[in-house]
Amino acid sequence: MDMRLELVPLPTTDVDASLAFYTEGMGFVLDHDVEPGNGMRVVQLTPPGSSCSIVIGVGMSAPDAPRVQNLHLVVDDIDEAREMLTGNGVDVSEVQDMGGVKYAHLSDPDGNTWALQQLSR
């Protein structure tokens, strides 16, 4: 039986700021932005080349829910990815080589944190 991780909910306090961060800064694709009623808003975004998406919005979790920490975005060239992100205004740490695995870290406007990871092949 296959089990696929396809959607990760992220808590947010400002959906529009998060939407701008993920589309303009990170280059994620906006899959949908819907308001099904009762004040709920669901925004699903997918990193380029990924089969797993994130969802942000209103009415899905408490605004003060714990932040998601250390989600990994695996990239082929971490220096190129970091350059693209910093060029889009995203604050990304310097690249660290951890013995063949390289990392750089960043966070979204709500403090959910991400690691760019490049594996040696």
Q: What is the pTM of this model?
A: 0.94
- Give the tens place of pLDDT for each residue, 60-96: 888 789 999 999 999 999 999 999 999 999 999 999 9
Predicted pLDDT of residue 60? 84
- Give the tens place of pLDDT for each residue, 19-60: 999 999 999 999 999 999 899 999 999 999 999 999 999 998
Phi/psi class of residue 39: alpha, beta or left (left: φ > 0; alpha: ψ in -120 to 50)? left
Predicted pLDDT of residue 61? 81
Predicted pLDDT of residue 3? 94
Kindly state the tokens that stand for 39: 């004040």
Domain definitions of the chain by residue range? 7-119
Compute the distance between CA of residue 94 and CA of residue 82 in angstroms, rounded to an integer.
8
Class of domain 7-119: alpha beta
